[in-house]
Each structure stands twice: as C-alpha cells, then as structure tokens.
Amino acid sequence: MSANYNVIGRSVPRIDGPEKVTGAAKYTGDLKFPNMLFGKILTSPHAHARIISIDTSEAEKLPGVKAVITHKDVPTLKYGLSPARWDENIFCSDKVRFVGDKVAAVACLDEDTCYKALKLIKVEFEELPAVLDFLHAMDEGQPLVHEEYERNINTEIHQEFGDVEKALAEAHHVRSDTFVGQRTYQSPIEPHSAISMWEGEKLTIYSSTQSPHYFQHYIAREFGMPMGDVRIIKPYLGGGFGGKLEPTGLEFAGAVLAKLTGRPVRTFYDRAEMFAHNRGRHAQHMEITTGVDKDGKILAVKANFIMDGGAYTSLGIASAYYAGALLPMTYEFDNYQFDMFRVYTNLPACGAQRGHGAPQPKYAFESHLDNVAADLGIDPMDIRIINARRPDTVTPNDFKVNSCKMRECLERARVISDWDEKKKNLPHGRGIGVATGSFVTGAGYPIYRTDLPHAAAFIKVHEDGTAATLYTGSVDLGQGSDTVLCQMAAEAMGYRYEQMKIVAADTEITPLDFGAYASRQTYMSGAAVKQAGEEVRKQVLDMASSMLNLPVDDLDCEDGIVFSKSREGKSLTFQEVARKHFVLKGPLLGKGAYTPPKLGGSFKGAAVGTSPAYSFGAQVGEVSIDKETGEITVVGIWDVHDCGKVINPRLLHGQVHGALYMGMGESVWEEVLFDDKGRIKNAELANYRVLTAMDMPPIQSEVVDSYEPSGPWGVKEIGEGATNPTLGMFSNAIFDAMGVRVNSLPLTYEKVWRALKEKREREAAEKA
C-alpha cells in the first residue's frame, strides 16, 4: 500500500461545479422535446374510500386534452420496491388508501389545461373509516387498509440473539424508556419529474432518480418488456435522500400517456404532491430496555418498536429491519432482542430517508443510554467509551466489523469539544450532549433478488489520449460522487483528474450500478472504477514497455507520465502512449465490476444491515436554551468520523454538514402534520420547517486516521452516517441543559418550554 497518491486524498474542484453554479446544468424538469405534452396525476381527496365510478368524458372533451387514463388503461400488476410486498398499483381500481393516492392521469398541450382537465374527471367515492393512528392500527375492529393484511400488519419481526432475559436478570441495573419519533420528509430541492417517450417498442424515460437500474428493472417488469427496450436517462439531480429511489408513478403514467398519444410526456410533482408521494421517515414508537453492570457495561438490550408505514410498503420492510439491525453497531453487547411491527395506516407511504431506519432508534437508544448513565452517576462520554465497539468484532446479529475506531472518535470529540471542561462549568440553560452513529457502506444484498454485480464501470481513453471518460450507472445526486469516482479513476490509471470526463447515468450507455442509496457508491462503484482504471493502466504500461524497450515491471504511471523506475529520464506521456495504443491495438478501454462477498447470518432478515464495511462516528453538540420560551440555540457541533480513507476532504466535510443539517431538522424543527381526515397540514416549506443557512451553527468536522482493508484504497461511507447520531445528540444536550427529558421528536421549543414549566410546577408542589 503506497501512501503517495496523486489524485485521491485531495479536495479537487467538483467536476459539475461550474455548470451548477452558473445555472447551466439541466435537470429533468428543464428538458424540452418537440411536441412534448404535459401530464398530471389526479389523486384521492380521501384517506380511505371505495371508488364507485370514474367518468372521464367531460375531461376528454376539453380542448387541449390529448389523453385521459385510469386503471382500465394500465397494467394491473402490483409493484413496489421490496419484492416481498409489492402492494401498489399504477392507479387505484377498488379503493383509495390515502389522501394523494393515484386515481387517473391526463396528458395535455400545456400545464394549465392539465389542471382544468383533472377538475373535469368525476370520481364517485364512498368514504370508509380510516386508520390514522398507527398505535391503534393493530387493534380489534380497526378497518383494514389492505384486506389481505390482517390487523394491518405489514411487517412483523422477532429476533433474539444470546439470552436477554438471563442477562437482564443478572444485571446490576435495568432501565426501560419509551420514545416516539415523528414523520419527516426528505424535501429535496428538485421536485420529482419524468419525461417519457417511445420509439416503436422502445421506451425512454428521463427521470430524477437515485437508481436508473432499479427504475429500469421495475418499469420493464411492470410493462412486461425486456430490460433492453427500457432506457433510463438520469440528468443532473437536485437531491433525493432516499425519496427518489423507487418508481414514483410519474413514469408509469407518463409511459402510458406517451404510448397513447405518440408524443413525449412530461409528468411531475409540485411541492405539495411531493409531500403526498412521501417515502420519508416513518413515525415510530420505541421501547428500549437495557441492563448494565455496575461500571455501565451494557449486558443486554431489548428493543420493541412499532412503525407507521403508511398505505404502502415502499422500502419499508428494509426500514423496519434496519431499525433494529443497526442498533448494536456502535456499542458491544452479546444479548439483544428486537421486536417490530410495521403497520399500515391511511397516510402517505414511508420509505428510506437518509440514515435509513437508524436515526430514530439511535435517538431512542442514545437518550436512554444517557438516562442509564445518569442513574449510575457515570459521565455520558465515559459510558460510551466503556462500551465502544472495537475493530474485528462481530455484532450479536452477525455483522462482521473490520475497521472500527469508535473509541478514537469519542476520545477526539471529547477533546475538540472541550467536553470535560464544559460538563463541569456550563451554567443551567446551557448543555452539551454526545451520541454515536454507524452506517453501512452499501447494502450487502440488492433490493430485488439477483446475482448481478452491484456496480460496474467502463473507462474509455480518447483516441489522442487527451481525455478519458468514465461511464458509470452511479448517481451523483449532489453528494459529489461524479467527482470522487473521476478522482479514483484517474488515480488507478495514473492519469490526471483534470482530463477526466464522466457519463452518468444512461442505462443504454453506462454499465450497471445500483445507484445512490445505502451510502454505497464511493466503496462499491469505486471498487468497479478502480478495477477499470487498473485495466487501462496495465495496457498503457504494456504499450510503453514496447515503446521504451524496457520491462513492464520497471515502469510506472503517475499523473499522466509513464516512467522507468530504474532509469531516470526515461519517460513518455500517458497521452502519447494511449494514442499509440489506439493506432496499434484499437480502443484503449478498461472495465470493472464489483460484487460483495457473502455476508451475514442465516436467521430471518439476516441480510438487512449486512455490509462489507461500516462507518463510525461521534457527535457532540452544545445548546443554549431560552428558559422563558424554550427556544434552542445551537452553540456548536463537533463531529468526528471513522470513514476510512478520504478521497476528497472538502466533499467529505460537505457530506457531514449536509447529514447534520438534515439530522438537526429532524431533531427540533421538522414534522409532517396531519388533520383528522388524514390530510397533510403543512405540505409546503413555510410550515414544514427545513432549516436555513441562518440556523446552522459552527461545525467542526474531523476524521480519524482509518483504513478499511476490504475497500478500494481503504474507503468507507460518509453520506448517511453523520445523520444517525444527531437526533440523540440534541436530545442529550437539551437534557443536560435543563435536567428534563423530552421523549418525543421533534424536540420543539414549545415541548422544551412545557417540560421546563412542568418541572417548575413539580418543584413548587414539592416545596409546598
């Protein structure tokens, strides 16, 4: 392993930076095609209702309307993301299951006509009682969201590792706490859109998707087409955070409308429709019990959760498994029990949001652990260091951990946050909290069952050697993967980053990659890119060997120069060697593919949470509370991560800031609210409060020196891991500041104010 890298490890400028900051970058919604029509979907105004009839005749008569479709015009095959529960239809036929469920669609000459046409579609509904409270969804006598799922149970999990009851019985101290997490929505800045068009039997869709491959797979499946006849093109993407991983309905409706009209059709969601489509964080009820010895060493943990899945499954089965699977990551213990019900309700479907399944259970567990530490009189930092996971260990649920610097992250966070001093000296109303997090570096198994590699890459060196293009099916949704993968390609080739180009992603041009989810691309796409780059490098060295008449072992290539290791001055440029290769041997190409090893145990659900590597991190936050209003001011946040080798430090810290930003929003500010009819009360950005730049505190983001032996150049994930500790960190900082615990997210100013008020009233009552 050489530590001397020329391209990786440097904060090179983003490859897409100039286009994005000048506004030149084209997103799906910016694209226009000759004769393009506009399509909109009609959705349900009721949370739960039977469809008696649909009359589209008036809409069809409106000038400018080119097609109106309902369930009669589309395939009836159910789709979804988790194959175990395909439960969605393109359009509802028997009943609607949430406000926003899809009923019909129109294609028109312009957007205005679409809205007029939607108003002219007459749907007769018979309203049904709705399930809106997930904690009662399993009760006797509740209406069923899907008739085939008894008691509205979508997913049921019961896992036990070790002997939990015995460990709890023998523990020095046992404590139980209950916490509640709220619904949040990813709120990407770019709304979802798709442009669908046909050439004969071939369907092309431009789409704002996190995974062109899964889109291609599910669209081909739905329409009974060979995958080769479905082309998915991903233009620039303005964020996704898990909400753009699956078919949205826009592409199904758009494809049918485009087929019927013979014209390209652009379908899209506005902000309110994005909230209704959702696939954001589940609300979750979390009971946690922990037994510890007298030093605070964790002996056993019992987690009993209920999740509000909404009306459909989406990726929710995985969310449910992840909720428990990642809980034993950052601390070592042998006895673990996880019980979970994910229930259906008549609310928008929940799915994967940054940190998939992990942030809320971490909030519950980290808050609970501080309560345990307070019971025992142990410093919250110490109890975490005592229990911190070590490298080369296996979790009770059979996840193999290679590199792990959990303890070093905590110790470093302790120093840079001035933890010990602040813990002693902060006045009442000021507080400091710590929490840990860990996340997968890519999922060990694909979302649908397949033996295809998880990632692949091609590199084409241009004929004159002045540029090389990386072809990848991976998705840069803003996190900077195009830049990082070009750095990795250049490093592997011995080439220069500045001469790299990238094509990502177009299923007809770029090779398979599962896309941007589960924090997989730097590692998995990177592994494929490294292999492709090394294949190019080998061919360059072979050609240079014959050009220089030197043995290939004596040659190396760095930064675009091929040189002799033994004879100084004997060198050629990569460019001239590449050109010669093209002249004598044809195109200079490299290819690579990555498949993870077989991972995990054999119990039910063992696959979810497996990963070839795990990131670890610690976060400390300091808050100041206005005791009269409950207003929370974030004084500072210190994040220390073990994320393996860093390819691009600036982008890495950007990911930490971004993940923290979303975690902050979930901690205190964001919540999707519903009225008693299941309608979203704040499907807009005034009352769904994503934070602004003004709200961001000073952040110190650091990494510990780390190397993951299984990854390309030793990399691990960073994109989601920094969301996982944040909610618990806030909970603990607020607890430290005022001595009372708020047990439900978000930890709003009003909840904090109320907790303080109740504490004052309790104390006054005790005195009297």
Partner 1 sequence: MYMPDFEYHTPRTLSEACALLAELGEKATVLAGGTDILHKMKVGKLAPEHLVSLKNLDEIREIRHEAGRGIVIGALTNHAAIYNSPLLQERYLSLPMAAHTMASTQICNLGTVGGNIVNGVPSADLPPILIALQATIRLVSASGERSMALEDFFCGAAETVIAPGELLTEITIPDQETTGSTYIKFGLRRSGALAVTGVAVSVCVEGDKLRDARIVLASAAPTVMRATAAEDFLRGRTISDEALAEAGTLAAAASRPRDSIRGSAEYRKNLAEVLTKRALRKAIDEGHV
Q: Which residues bind partner 1 (CB under 8 A)?
A: 112, 115, 119, 270, 628-629, 631, 669, 673, 681-682, 685-687, 689, 691-695, 748-750, 753-754
Residue 324's φ and ψ, nearest 5 degrees, are: -95, -35
Please, where are the H alpha helices in 156-211?
Answer: 164-170
Return the SS3 of 486: helix
Minimum Å gap between C-beta 201 and partner 1 is 35
Distance CA(314)–CA(206), nearest Å, equals: 22
CA gap 438, 421 in Å, rounded: 27
**Minimal distance, residue 692 CB to partner 1, in Å:** 4
Distance CA 658, CA 478 (A): 10
What are the backbone dihedrals phi and psi of residue 402, each rounded to the nearest 5 degrees, phi first?
-90, -95
- CB 191 to partner 1: min, Å: 11
Q: Quick one: 35 or 687, whose CB is closer to partner 1?
A: 687
8 A C-beta contact, residue 760 and residue 650: no
Token pair 């990494």 is found at 703
What is the C-alpha separation between 476 and 492, in angstroms, rounded? 20
Rounded Cα distance between 322 and 278, Å, is 19
Residues listed for the chain? 768
Structure tokens at 85: 């529960």
- The residues, ordered by sequence, that sit 6+ positions from 569 with a Cβ below 8 Å of its Cβ are none
Minimal distance, residue 145 CB to partner 1, in Å: 26
What is the maximal distance between C-alpha atoms in the chain?
A: 97
Hey, what amino acid is at 696? M
CA distance 90 to 101: 10
List phi, psi (to 5°) of 489. -60, -45
Tell me the β-bridge partners of 296: none
CB closer to partner 1 out of 115 and 448:
115
Alpha-carbon gap, residue 195 to 178, rounded angstroms? 46
Considering the complex, what minimum distance in angstroms separates the CB of residue 719 from partner 1?
Answer: 24
Spell 220-229 as b/e; 16+ CB within 10 A means b. bbbbebeeeb
Q: Cβ of residue 631: shortest distance to partner 1, in angstroms?
A: 8
Residues in a beta bridge with 289: 176, 302
Name the helix (H) or strand (E) containing 152: none
3-state secondary structure of 619: strand
Spatial neighbors of 720 by CB under 8 A, at least 6 apart, are 354, 355, 356, 358, 439, 518, 519, 659
CA dihedral over 712, 716, 352, 185, signed as positive or negative = negative
Of 391, 411, 377, the closest CA to residue 332 belongs to 391
d(CA 583, CA 538): 17
Instruction: State the Cα–Cα distance between residues 169 and 27, nearest whole angstrom.
Output: 58
Query: What is d(CA 12, CA 649) in angstroms, rounded to the nearest whole number?
Result: 9
Do strands 571-573 and 632-642 pair parallel, antiparallel, or not at all (unpaired)? unpaired
- Nearer CB in complex with partner 1: 208/748: 748
3-state secondary structure 244-288: CCCCCCHHHHHHHHHHHHCCCEEEECCHHHHHHHCCCECEEEEEE
With beta carbons less than 8 A apart as the criterion, state whether 444 and 612 touch: yes
Q: What tokens were used for 346?
A: 């008549």
* In the complex, minimum distance from the CB of residue 112 to partner 1, in angstroms, rounded to a whole number: 7
Measured CA to CA in angstroms, residue 104 lies from 76, 101, 120, 734 at distances of 13, 10, 12, 47
Q: Of 615, 653, 620, which is closest to residue 405 (Cα–Cα)?
A: 615
760 membership: H or E segment, kind and range: helix 749-767
> What are the residues whose beta carbons fall under 8 Å from the beta carbon of 275, sequence distance 6 or more?
185, 348, 672, 680, 683, 684, 688
- Which CB, 324 or 658, lies closer to partner 1? 658
The residue among 149 and 749 lying less far from partner 1, judged by its C-beta, is 749
